[in-house]
Structure 1
């Protein structure tokens, strides 16, 4: 059996490509790879400054629905940080930039900080604690769904 090895990229539908690209650059430190336009859509592909992973921001013609984590599709998108201290640093960075967020929340397998992009898309910064048990079941919820849909 063959299996996918990793996620290559994620593309998010946004209402304003340029506004979203600016936000992802300024708030999360992404860098732009390229832009493309057609009659149906305007897109911008961005990645982390270290060149790892990419996120596409796609503005579709005539699109105007707001993001809703309860609608079938994307609930949230989480990015990994290396240390628990990094989450505290992110909270301070977001505060300085005036970006509303949940603060750092401890969950059974680590810690998470929830925020939303300009279109209300739920994002998270996640630290996976290597010393915590990896079990996730009904008695130890991950915190993701409740935290992301109720987050700022």
Structure 2
């Protein structure tokens, strides 16, 4: 909690720049998602870092504030998008900042949501009304990522 308090001004400024109704898909389509996500996730890349807070915890907090825009992240989501195998969109890149990794991951997730609208609509129809597509994608990834043979851990 104290670690997040230390970066609270930066996070609040980043969140203030994101309309509550802005979806990740819209931001990606307009080319605006990069700077917006980087302003939030970039706190993990700062020289002082955020002790005890990684990408998983930070995205869980930020997703609650902007559920249409900030994707959730954990090892199972990572297993669906990140591997040394060629058919995965993200590969290990030494020295890549967390903000750049997450911005690229967000674009991949938005693409998945845009390319299969009927499937996501069908899944959303089974969820409560207040559940975002990004949360539904997280649930699907969480289930698929559990058995992913191509996953690697950092």
- Asked if TM exceeds 0.5, the reply is no
User: Structure 1 length as normaliser, TM-score?
Assistant: 0.29
* Higher strand proportion: 1
User: Structure 2 length as normaliser, TM-score?
Assistant: 0.29
Larger RCO: 1 or 2 (CA < 8 Å, sep 6+): 2
State which structure, 1 or 2, has the greater radius of gyration over its C-alpha atoms.
1
* Higher helix proportion: 2
